[in-house]
Amino acid sequence: MSDTTSRFVVSADWVEKQLGSAGFKVVDAAWYLPAHKRDAKAEYAAGHVPGAVFFDQDAIANHSTGLPHSLPSPEFFAAEVGKLGISETDTIVVYDGPGFFSAPRVWWMLRTMGAKEVFVLDGGLDGWRAESRALEVGNTTPAPAVFTPKFRADKVIPFETMRDVVDDGSAQIADARGAGRFTGEEAEPRAGMRSGHMPGARSLPATSLSANGRFKDIATLKTMIADAGIDLSQPVVTSCGSGVTAAVIMLALESVGHDDNALYDGSWSEWGSRLDTPVVTGPADPVKG
């Protein structure tokens, strides 16, 4: 880690040296869309970072919303993460396959629930494998731990608040979906959902914030955020398809020192599927100078 890289992103070398240390936990946070044609649970069983536990984002969720993998209550989250042997006082490293797709979501969840020392593995498991580092097969059965939640409600935006943000412009909206879905030129992957974006939203695709599994440096992140029309002196709400890759923008914002941010948990799965929400197509509105 250095002044030029995110303080939340750690190298495989660093992780490898910490393995087995007291209070050091590794979490496989892989989750994929059908288009990826990857099975996160099967890949975990076939080989994972030694000692890593599998965090099932579809299971550790609020199942009453009708939306995919909604953020669960602090009590449910704490109970499930405790079963994984994780405490809020641990040093926790999360990873996914490609590096920065689903891991930042669990990074955000853990921090939102009160854990402070949470990091993301640069390069992901794909990078770990490519460097021929040690793998453990099968399922890890950790000793249970107590996770005491300290929920940060300010980091989560519910639908009614999101509607107010769109109406009054009280925060900037950063959309992590691909540019085609943002403009409405590409269909949403979920059936029955309009494509396009919320009025006033800015496009900052999550996939643009890393390259070859490596998170981009601080200077580049600042430039990309500014080029997207996002003012770092003002509050930001992030959104995406279902609340997963919106956390990649959260990681970028926090990395450059912006902490006045929150994630719209329902994201486009909620906004785009409703009939009472405004949807705009085409590019983002010009930045007012």
Q: Cα-flanking dihedrals φ and ψ of residue 215, to 5°?
A: -70, 140
Which residues does residue 26 pair with via DSSP β-bridges, in sequence order? 93
pLDDT tens, residue by residue, 73-109: 999 999 999 999 999 999 999 999 999 999 999 999 9
pLDDT at 33: 86
Q: What's the pLDDT band for 288 if we cut at 50, 70, 90?
A: low
- Structural domain boundaries, residue 259: 154-271
Are 52 and 126 in the same domain?
Answer: yes
pTM of the model: 0.96
- Which listed residue (240, 247, 249, 253) is catalytic? 240
Are 20 and 143 in the same domain?
Answer: yes
Would you list the DSSP string of 195-243? -SB-TT-EE--GGGGEETTEEPPHHHHHHHHHHTT--TTS-EEEE-SSS
> What single-letter DSSP state applies at residue 2?
-
Are 54 and 165 in the same domain?
Answer: no
What three-state secondary structure class fits 221?
Answer: helix
pLDDT tens, residue by residue, 103-162: 999 999 999 999 999 999 999 999 999 999 999 999 989 999 999 999 999 999 999 999
pLDDT tens, residue by residue, 40-75: 999 999 999 999 999 999 999 999 999 999 999 999
pLDDT tens, residue by residue, 19-29: 999 999 999 99
Q: Is residue 74 part of a domain?
A: yes
Burial of 46 (0-12, 13-18, 19+ CB in 10 A): exposed
Are 27 and 81 in the same domain?
Answer: yes
Identify the CATH number of the domain in which residue 251 sits.
3.40.250.10
60 an active-site residue? no
Are 206 and 187 in the same domain?
Answer: yes
- Reported as half-sphere exposure (CB side, CA atoms, 13 A), residue 158 has a value of 4
Which residues does residue 62 pair with via DSSP β-bridges, in sequence order? 70
